[in-house]
Amino acid sequence: MNITNDLVTEYICGYYQPLNDQLAELRSMGERDHVPIILKETEQYLNILLALKRPARILEIGTAIGYSAIYFAYKCPQTEIYTIEKDETAFHAARHNIAALGLDERIHSYLGDGQEQVEKLRDIGIKGFDFVFIDAAKSHYRRFLEAALSVCQKDAVIVSDNILQRAMTVSDQYDPQKKHKTNVKKMRDYVDYICRSRELETSLMSTGDGLAVSIFRGEHG
Ligand code: SAH
Ligand code: MG
């Protein structure tokens, strides 16, 4: 089930323009192989956020084949990107794609769990992130966020993808067999947490599969 009217989505995506041919090709590869890369409308919205924020250092949790990391690199040509992927096959595919485009100087990719790898980065002094994209295991967002905040600057923008989980987060009627009960509960708790947290200011949107956009007030500890 699509969370918004199909016609609305089609209309909005009708205005989608790939940034360049390399990204267009990688997107069709990802879509062909059913890799859950960012949706077109999500990318359209990220375009605006990135143009406004102009981040110096982006942290991404969930690389998959590297589509979004590569998109960040093209969209923000001065920016350093750190991206973490747990699955070895995906990690190697991403490394391959990043290197083939000559972006491996600016996209730093790490194999492992999002939280663990962020903590390692912090321990070796890599912090000061001002833009975070959380797009990995949906039931682990809370611990990814906690780790990410520990390496973020004040006023960092944190984007959490897939928060609506095809609307299951909104209502049990979208998960009638309760197949996703645990994940759904965890995402509801996560959304509740980021919306109530005093260290974040958060706005929820139904763009794509649901986005939460938060600003870090800078009082983590
Ligand atoms: N951001 C990518 C898509 C990511 S899909 C894009 O838009 O192009 C989500 C990815 O998160 C999957 O490849 C999955 O293997 C990875 N993942 C799952 N659990 C993880 C974890 N604990 N730490 C890091 N990555 C994880
Ligand atoms: Mg996603």
Domain that holds residue 12: 6-216
Closest-approaching ligand to the CA atom of 67: 1
- What is the reported pLDDT for 162? 97
Q: CATH code at 53?
A: 3.40.50.150
User: 151 in a domain, yes or no?
Assistant: yes
Mean of pLDDT over the chain: 96
**Average of per-residue pLDDT across 111-121:** 98
Closest ligand, as measured to the CA of 65? 1
Structure letter (DSSP) for residue 98: H
How many domains is the chain built from? 1
- What is the phi/psi pair of residue 118, to 5°? -65, -40
Pocket probe mutation, ligand 1, options 28, 91, 135, 160, max atoms within 8 Å of Cβ: 135
Q: Is 138 in the pocket of ligand 1 (CB under 6 A)?
A: no
Report pLDDT digits (tens) over 13-57: 999 999 999 999 999 999 999 999 999 999 999 999 999 999 999
Is the Cβ–Cβ distance between 101 and 70 less than 8 Å?
A: yes
Cβ of 85 below 6 Å from ligand 1: yes
pLDDT at 219 over 80: no
